[in-house]
Structure 1
Amino acid sequence: MNATLKKSDFVLTPYMKSNNLLATYQILITLVPYGCLWFLAVTAAHISVWLLPPILILMSLLSVRSFSLMHDCGHYSLFSSKKVNRCVGFCLGVINAIPQYPWSRDHAYHHKTNGDWERYRGVADFLSTTEFAKLNAKDRQVYQFIRQPIMAIPGGFFYLAIAPRMALVLGVYDLFRDLISDRPQQPGLSLAAKLDTHSSKYWQSKTEFWDLLLNNICVISSWILMSNLLGAGLFLSIYSVVLTLSAVVFIWVFFVQHIFEGSYAHQTADWDYLQGAVEGSSYLELPTILKWFTADIGYHNIHHLSERIPNYHLQACHLHNLHLLSNVKTLRLGDMLDCAKYILWDADTQQLVSIESFLQDERQARIVAAPVPAIANFR
Structure 2
Amino acid sequence: MSKSSTSAQLSSLKKSVAPFEKNDRKASIKQMINTLGPLFLLWAAAYFSLSVSYWLTLLFAVPAAGFVIRTFIIFHDCCHGSFFRNRKANDILGTITGVLTLVPYRQWKRSHSIHHAGSSNLDKRGIGDIWIMTVDEYIAAKPLQRLWYRIYRNPLVMFGAGPIAVFLIQYRFNVKSARRQERMNTYLTNVLIAALYAGMIWAVGWQAFLLVQLPIVFVSGFLGIWLFYVQHQFEDTFFEHEEEWSYVMAAVEGSSYYKLPKLLQWITGNIGFHHVHHLAPKVPNYNLELAHNATPPLQKATTITIGTSLKALRFRLWDEENKGFVSFKEIKDRLRQPLPPVEGLKIQKTGLQAE
The answer, yes or no, to whether TM exceeds 0.5 is yes
| TM-score of Structure 1 vs Structure 2, range by shorter chain | 0.7 to 0.9
State the alpha-carbon separation in 2 of the partners of residues 324 and 50 from structure 1. Answer: 46
Code of the aligned partner of 1:305: L
State the alpha-carbon separation in 2 of the partners of residues 207 and 123 from structure 1. Answer: 23
Residues 119-155 of structure 1: CA deviation (Å, up to 9, x unaligned): 1257322222222113455653442232122221221
Residue 69 (structure 1) aligned with residue 42 (structure 2): no
Matches within 5 A, 1:168-207: 201-207=175-181
State the alpha-carbon separation in 1 of the partners of residues 81 and 144 from structure 2. Answer: 44
Q: Is the 8 A contact 2:167 2:221 kept in 1?
A: yes
Code of the aligned partner of 2:302: K
Residue 140 (structure 1) aligned with residue 146 (structure 2): yes
Select the residue among 2, 6, 9 that pairs with 1:6: 9
Matches within 5 A, 1:264-303: 264-303=238-277
State the alpha-carbon separation in 1 of the partners of residues 319 and 291 from structure 2. Answer: 33
Secondary structure of the equivalent of 2:271?
Answer: coil
Against the structure 1 CA distance between its residues 13 and 90, is the aligned structure 2 distance closer, same or farther, given a 3 Å change threshold?
Answer: same
Percent of pairs identical after alignment?
A: 28
Instruction: Tell me the equivalent position of 2:118.
Output: 113
Select the residue among 209, 217, 226 that pairs with 1:243: 217
Unaligned runs of 5+ in 1: 169-200, 367-379
Against the structure 1 CA distance between its residues 127 and 240, is the aligned structure 2 distance closer, same or farther, given a 3 Å change threshold?
Answer: same
Instruction: Quote the offset at 1:236 in angstroms.
Output: 1.8
Q: Is the 8 A contact 1:265 1:352 kept in 2?
A: no
State the alpha-carbon separation in 1 of the partners of residues 65 and 129 from structure 2. Answer: 21
Instruction: Tell me the equivalent position of 1:25.
Output: 30
Code of the aligned partner of 2:330: S
Secondary structure of the equivalent of 1:160?
Answer: helix
Secondary structure of the equivalent of 2:318?
Answer: strand
Q: Is the 8 A contact 1:117 1:345 kept in 2?
A: no
Instruction: Tell me the equivalent position of 2:135.
Output: 129
Code of the aligned partner of 1:28: I
State the alpha-carbon separation in 1 of the partners of residues 125 and 141 from structure 2. Answer: 21
Secondary structure of the equivalent of 1:244?
Answer: helix
Instruction: Tell me the equivalent position of 1:304.
Output: 278
Compare 328-337 and 286-295 and name the one that shifted more.
328-337
State the alpha-carbon separation in 1 of the partners of residues 212 and 140 from structure 2. Answer: 43
Instruction: Quote the offset at 1:47 in angstroms.
Output: 2.1
Q: Is the 8 A contact 1:164 1:216 kept in 2?
A: no
State the alpha-carbon separation in 2 of the partners of residues 261 and 137 from structure 1. Answer: 28
State the alpha-carbon separation in 1 of the partners of residues 298 and 55 from structure 2. Answer: 46
Instruction: Tell me the equivalent position of 1:184.
Output: none
Select the residue among 131, 135, 155 that pairs with 1:149: 155
Structure with greater Cα Rg: 1
Q: Is the 8 A contact 1:149 1:337 kept in 2?
A: no
Residue 354 (structure 1) aligned with residue 322 (structure 2): no
Instruction: Tell me the equivalent position of 1:16.
Output: 21
Secondary structure of the equivalent of 1:260?
Answer: coil
Instruction: Tell me the equivalent position of 2:234.
Output: 260
Report how many aligned residue pairs link the two structures: 333
Unaligned runs of 5+ in 2: 339-355
Residue 40 (structure 1) aligned with residue 13 (structure 2): no
Code of the aligned partner of 1:44: S
Residues 326-375 of structure 1: CA deviation (Å, up to 9, x unaligned): 64111100122211222323345554333222224445x56xxxxxxxxx
State the alpha-carbon separation in 1 of the partners of residues 147 and 300 from structure 2. Answer: 34
Residues 233-265 of structure 1: CA deviation (Å, up to 9, x unaligned): 110221111011101101111111101122110
Select the residue among 152, 162, 183 that pairs with 2:169: 162
Compare 132-141 and 266-275 and name the one that shifted more.
132-141
Normalised by the size of structure 2, how large is the TM-score? 0.88
Code of the aligned partner of 2:100: I
State the alpha-carbon separation in 1 of the partners of residues 277 and 264 from structure 2. Answer: 17
Instruction: Tell me the equivalent position of 1:228.
Output: 202
